[in-house]
Amino acid sequence: MTGCRPRVLATATAVPPHALDQHAAKHVARGLFAGREDGAIDRLLPMFDHVEVDRRFLCQPVEWYLEHHPFADRNAVYQRWALELGTRAGAAALEAAALSPAEVGSVVFVSTTGLATPSLDVGLMRGLGLVDRYTHRQSMFGRGCAGGVAGLAQASDRARLDPARAVLLVVVELCSLTFRRDDVTTPNIVSSALFGDGAAAAVLVADEQGVQRGASVIGHDMVTWPGTDDLMGWDFGDDGMSVVLSKSIPALVRRELRASFDHACEQARVDPADIRHHLVHPGSAVVLDAVTDALELAPDALARSRSVLRDHGNMSAATILFILDRFLADGVADAGETVALSALGPGFSGEHLLLRW
């Protein structure tokens, strides 16, 4: 067991039914916030034009977000749609991996945009037909945009502990449910311009099973920078979650990310210069610019991250799996190449996962 390397065997994604293009989103925001005495919306509306998002998907019709909904109602919507999308993504990932539910020994569930006790992995197991009462389950909350990479690492660890059975990772984020219609602050408007909803899943197996396809997990590292826990997260109020998002994040990325990335490579005995493919969570276009600068990447190195941002917006933890799914579909990695997955999240922290084809 100690020598096995888990492999990412397959991935899949799912989106809710309501597509919203950026022009329409800006129009809705202008109508909703127009006439405020402070005139803040006139200053903030240009954000919709500069975040490099063309479209995202929402779990509710856009008219729903213009009405008042207390947190209990929002959370009920979260639970219903998280189970729907998570089950769909999980089933598609198992089908892509050519595995049956009976071959899954563990489920890892990641989400930070709603609450449920018992955690929603119980409902996912039921919806996917995972009937073995000894199926291991792990739920992860509070990791925000870094949760997808953290979830892959957790699933990888579980595959090492139970190499005879597959691990199913499911990540669901319904960021739109955190929109606050009476909040004309920069973080809320940025969220309105940037975030979308989506779910993704991945199947991991240990290479002791004789699987020759997929990518091996060869390293994972994380860093939490001291004194930065107020840069990103949620505030909780009667009407739900409101995003905490500091404008100082890009500067921190430029200053600190390279050292954490080099440390991750050192732990995995990989030369950073040998990594040709970088899959980076697109917190925003500005953050991607900062990552490009920090890691001294070519201007087009994060093209897939930008394309997913353009097509789906920032779906928090699920986004990195959308990028990995697109990368796998493109089939551009050669045997022996190392691919780096990186994401930033509340803490303030960074996650790096290294895969070898």
Residues with a catalytic annotation lie at 145
Specify the residue for token string 């899954």: 104
Tokens of 252: 């921190």
* Rounded (to 5) percent helix, strand, coil in the chain: 45, 25, 30
- Burial bucket for residue 89 (CB in 10 Å: 0-12, 13-18, 19+): buried
Contact 206, 3 (CB under 8 A): no
Q: Residue 159, by phi and psi: left (phi above 0), alpha (psi -120 to 50) or beta?
A: alpha
Contact 215, 357 (CB under 8 A): yes
- Burial bucket for residue 238 (CB in 10 Å: 0-12, 13-18, 19+): exposed
Contact 285, 306 (CB under 8 A): yes
Q: Tell me the C-alpha distance between 232 and 249, whole Å.
A: 9
DSSP output for 300-356: TTTHHHHHHHHHH-B-GGGHHHHHHHHHHHHT-PPTT-EEEEEEEETTTEEEEEEEE
- Give the largest Cα separation in the chain, rounded: 66
Contact 94, 203 (CB under 8 A): yes
